[in-house]
Structure 1
């Protein structure tokens, strides 16, 4: 993976990474607090060998001493050294158990033996190290070979007694917390990388761009239950941005036209996008007709709180006219509900009557927005997209799979439908709060006075008898 990919993973999963880091650090802190303090004290014993006066004899004696030191290091943890210590302190333990508290070592090429004791009491630990060192001195005298005059050839003495430690050697809070931070980051990043590999959902613009080169027309934030003013501004600005991008695509103007808004699968927010875009276009002074062509699960009338059982299907089957059934929803905005649910939605939407209706309304309205069923389950969106100026595909962050999104693009391309672009919906904008917070200072809601001052062109659909 490249650096940019790692940064993307961190942006997508930084919350879970920090949560993992917090848990591991807290576990390290808890482990540290639960550990009983351990103190360490060391006493040093020096071993000497009796030798002659010549240089050769001194060298041989030094080499012999080093070999003896290695042997005596092994002797430290034996009963010969530890039993006298147990008797001295009247310890209720065995030499084998006591050996677990004692360790001995010798620096290379020296005649020194470091005897280290560990325990839960600082004073007792120092006393134990000194007692073992003293016992080793006696044991060396007992084990050392003697000369012809009965004098020992090897002797030992304590040259550096153990002192009472001021601080415990364990636990080490700083070390444990540092290790917890490192381990927490490694685990957090590891699980984030794993999730990024296993999670194929579309979450941001990078995921969109990895599937298609179609432009991202707008990024719409998540609508929380208690949204603050900045969230409302960012949400409104997203739809105004969509309105601006649509206007630059050659739709509207001298050639009034229609386009479809759909999604890959249900639940991605296509109807909300259709309604919101229709409203902001109407607020900008454009005449807009919003058609609910989702003849399977129509939602536009409910979203706009309109009461009508008749609509598109009734116009297509000549049981009503557009002039009678198109409902004025607000200034410059009319809504044509789905109408009576037919048994054959695809055939009806692909009929000559639908083509005639589209041809007529495109001449009467600046924009005609058509809300359709999702692309993958049924062919309705493809049928209408191929007859209009194109389709805007709504994709919900964290819900739509990249494979589903890619399949939708392939279906639309195969049906000769023009994909105008993508709306990335329900994005968590808090991860971009600095950018949006800064930008929102330059965006304001349009006041009713400003809207009423805009020129309002009236469509001529009263004359259309379809």
Structure 2
């Protein structure tokens, strides 16, 4: 018995799990589209309420008649009379709405209706297993409904009495059991019923609208959307930052935030994409503008430098440069200055506070960006940078706007496509990827940027751990500072060599920054003199 039960239970388990997954998917759709579903439900409910208020009230009044036969008192005759009444009662019900009965009613009450029109307001019914005929009249006024019901019953009694009269007298008698009284409340519309129906229809319509929007939405919102639309792996997913202006400075200003943790995950994943010492340049681009490619490039450069690498961040967006504005750097010299031969690469790079990270801004905007980026000078500049730095991160223009990025993608180690959740559409992302694959460019993967917080449910535990670890790191830093203070005030001098080494390292870093700043100052001076002579 046990052996026979187990296979059945095992077979049912996948079906139950599949049903649960489907329910969870529907619930996820409702969470995502809750506003549309709510508005639709409220709209349907409001429509039901308006229809109820606009309907003309209808009142119902009912007169009840008992059908009996006039026979002798023998049992056989009584039974025969009951059978005869049961057979005749349906005929009387139909007779109640005939012109023979209703014409006298119209004349008596002076109604402005025909017998056919009046018949539409009269309903006759026979309760089961009874000899009672109910005449129910519907009207716009309660008194008129009661008058018509009582007058119809009286007219029916007269007609039946006339039709059933024989030489021996009347054999069928209709007795009024209860007269029709004017109702105190309308029978229709029923406010509770209409509101309940409106609420039910609203919920169903809201759910249908949410599902329809989900099926028709072609925007990229989740990791699954990217992988299904372009068959490209998502190697990073960055949560939306409340203050968009702080997005480029996540790694430097909030190194222990959940967003910074996402960039660390991106750095880890990039190690498995084929980048090596001979091909260490990463081109960062997007399909459209405003997807966060520049902020992603800045944070990627920061996180690579924080791992102990020497990193150069190049601003190759020569049409709408933004790195100098984000980072507060000099913008009058940069990449274009190097490409036209007025300065060497080492003379115009600018260091940031993060050790090992330097930036080459765009410089003056040229009239021919595509030609400059596709020139031999750009290839030589990139080769020089790749030889001098561990990693070279390049911020480039959007793929679907201009051809600059397609030109650069052929001479770099790999291209990282930034896709902003809720902005770029699936056809646009496919078109951008096809633009790269057509020219055999190496695409590293997709970075899903500014993902809404509700879409990060999968990573909740990891992000919560990152948040909790921030306080732990802060406590550890304070403890280390107190330990250093105690050691500094201690009479023992065992840490002097380490302090000398740290001082020497700081001095070396300061000398390096000074060496970098001095050529930059000279270049700026030459640019100023050149501008003055041209003026």
For the aligned pair, the TM-score class normalised by the smaller chain equals 0.7 to 0.9
Query: Any idea what SS the aligned residue of 1:140 has?
Result: helix
Is residue 361 from structure 1 mapped to residue 385 from structure 2 by the alignment?
yes
* 1:3-57 deviation line (CA, Å, top 9, x unaligned): 3765564344332111101111122223334445444333322333457899998
1:354: Cα distance to partner? 3.2
Map 1:25-424 to 2 at 5 A: 25-35=45-55, 37-49=57-69, 65-66=85-86, 68-78=88-98, 80-82=100-102, 85=105, 93-94=112-113, 96=115, 98-106=118-126, 111-119=131-139, 125-126=145-146, 128-142=148-162, 144-149=163-168, 151-162=169-180, 168-211=186-229, 212-221=231-240, 223=242, 236-250=257-271, 257-282=280-305, 286-332=309-355, 333-342=357-366, 344-424=368-448
Map 1:423-434 to 2 at 5 A: 423-429=447-453
Query: Any idea what SS the aligned residue of 2:239 has?
Result: strand
Query: Any idea what SS the aligned residue of 1:330 has?
Result: coil
The 8 Å contact of residues 232 and 445 in structure 2, kept in 1 or not, is answered as no
1:184: Cα distance to partner? 1.9
The 8 Å contact of residues 68 and 172 in structure 2, kept in 1 or not, is answered as yes
Number of residue pairs aligned between Structure 1 and Structure 2: 458
The 8 Å contact of residues 278 and 290 in structure 1, kept in 2 or not, is answered as yes
Taking the aligned partners of 1:226 and 1:31, their CA distance within structure 2 comes to 50
1:307: Cα distance to partner? 3.4
- Flag the 1:355–1:417 CA change in 2: closer, same or farther, 3 A: same
The 8 Å contact of residues 237 and 451 in structure 2, kept in 1 or not, is answered as no
Taking the aligned partners of 1:234 and 1:127, their CA distance within structure 2 comes to 85
* 1:426-457 deviation line (CA, Å, top 9, x unaligned): 4333566897698375364998x979x99989
Aligned to 1:15: 35
Taking the aligned partners of 2:174 and 2:153, their CA distance within structure 1 comes to 10
1:371: Cα distance to partner? 0.7
1:134: Cα distance to partner? 3.4
* 1:211-259 deviation line (CA, Å, top 9, x unaligned): 22412401331646899xxx99899522431233213432899889321
Taking the aligned partners of 1:168 and 1:181, their CA distance within structure 2 comes to 22
Aligned to 2:530: none
Length-normalised TM-score, structure 2: 0.70
Aligned to 2:9: none
Taking the aligned partners of 1:424 and 1:234, their CA distance within structure 2 comes to 19
Higher helix share: 2
- Flag the 1:428–1:129 CA change in 2: closer, same or farther, 3 A: farther
Length-normalised TM-score, structure 1: 0.79
Aligned to 2:14: none
Structure 1 unmatched ranges of 5 or more: none
Higher relative contact order (CA 8 A, sep 6+): 1
Taking the aligned partners of 2:193 and 2:245, their CA distance within structure 1 comes to 43
Taking the aligned partners of 2:276 and 2:436, their CA distance within structure 1 comes to 26
- Flag the 1:233–1:342 CA change in 2: closer, same or farther, 3 A: closer
* 1:181-223 deviation line (CA, Å, top 9, x unaligned): 2322333333344434443221222211212241240133164
1:391: Cα distance to partner? 1.8
Structure 2 unmatched ranges of 5 or more: 1-18, 482-501, 521-535
